[in-house]
Amino acid sequence: MKTDVKSEIPVYTIYFTLSYDVSCLLTSISEEHNRISMHGVRTALLEQQAESIGIPLVKLILPEMPSMEIYDNEISKQLETLKNKGNTHCIYGDIFLEDLREYREKQLEKIDMKAVFPLWKIDTKYLVNEFIKLEFKTIVTCVDERYLDNSFVGRIIDNDFINDLPANVDPCGENGEFHTFVFDGPIFKNKINFSVGEKVYKQYKSHAKDDECMNGFWYVDLK
């Protein structure tokens, strides 16, 4: 993102002291399903979300279950394109996963860009409570069955949801326990309307090296 220009989007956390001109949102899309990778959210809803927030959307189109080599190649090409348009930084929402932060930083170093992590090491219980207090609205679209059963998918994140989480589940889902779709909040011009469809169970091969296990996930279809 281009630096030294104050963003028109309000920043609510006191920990985010730098100003950026946010030029676009970058999201990976499954080419086969036309949905956000892992979240399972339809591209049409993603487009409405970006339009309501008022930031242009850039889609990274990926094949179903791409290898790390394919992912690295595709994201590198997209980041190079963004750099050539004048962008200097990428902002990520990662909170405490050290290996993921290291991966992102090394990826950007190759093309002389910088990574920014405004939420880094902030207590996740504090973050989710602030999120709720600020009246952002988000629905759980996917859960990893290793952590949560299918009763959690399709729920709105509120105080009851947080209180119902097992002790081993991070309240922001930072370990991939669940994924969400934000549909309303103080930075939205209008609420994103949708209906909640059926729940679907899918299994995917683990990305861990030498791990042949299949991991199961529950999704809810938002229309």
Question: What value does the mean pLDDT take over residues 151-173?
Answer: 98
Domain identity same for 136 and 166: yes
Question: What value does the mean pLDDT take over residues 170-198?
Answer: 97
**Alpha helix stretches (DSSP H) within the chain:** 43-53, 68-84, 98-109, 124-133, 159-164
Q: Among the three residues 67, 85, 116, which one is the final residue of a domain in this structure?
A: 116
Query: Six-digit token pair at 219?
Result: 């999704």
Q: Which residue has the higher pLDDT, 184 or 11?
A: 184
Amino acid at 61: I
Which pTM was predicted? 0.87
Domain identity same for 95 and 130: no
Q: Domain containing 58: what range? A: 2-116
Domain identity same for 72 and 144: no
Domain identity same for 104 and 182: no
Radius of gyration, CA atoms only, the chain = 17
Question: What value does the mean pLDDT take over residues 126-130?
Answer: 96
Taking the C-alpha atoms of residue 121 and residue 126, their distance in angstroms, rounded to an integer, is 11
Q: Among the three residues 84, 116, 148, which one is the final residue of a domain in this structure?
A: 116
Domain identity same for 76 and 132: no
Domain identity same for 136 and 190: yes
Q: Among the three residues 116, 147, 179, which one is the final residue of a domain in this structure?
A: 116
pLDDT in tens, 60-113: 999 988 888 999 999 999 999 999 999 999 999 999 999 999 999 999 999 999
Q: Is the pLDDT of residue 192 over 50?
A: yes
Taking the C-alpha atoms of residue 222 and residue 129, their distance in angstroms, rounded to an integer, is 25
Domain identity same for 24 and 109: yes
Number of structural domains found in the chain: 2
pLDDT in tens, 194-219: 999 999 999 987 665 555 678 899 99
Residues 6+ apart with CB under 8 A from 154: 139, 140, 141, 196, 199, 220
Amino acid at 59: K
Domain identity same for 99 and 163: no
Query: Six-digit token pair at 171?
Result: 């309240």
Domain identity same for 103 and 57: yes
Domain identity same for 89 and 130: no
Q: Is the pLDDT of residue 45 over 50?
A: yes
Domain identity same for 91 and 136: no
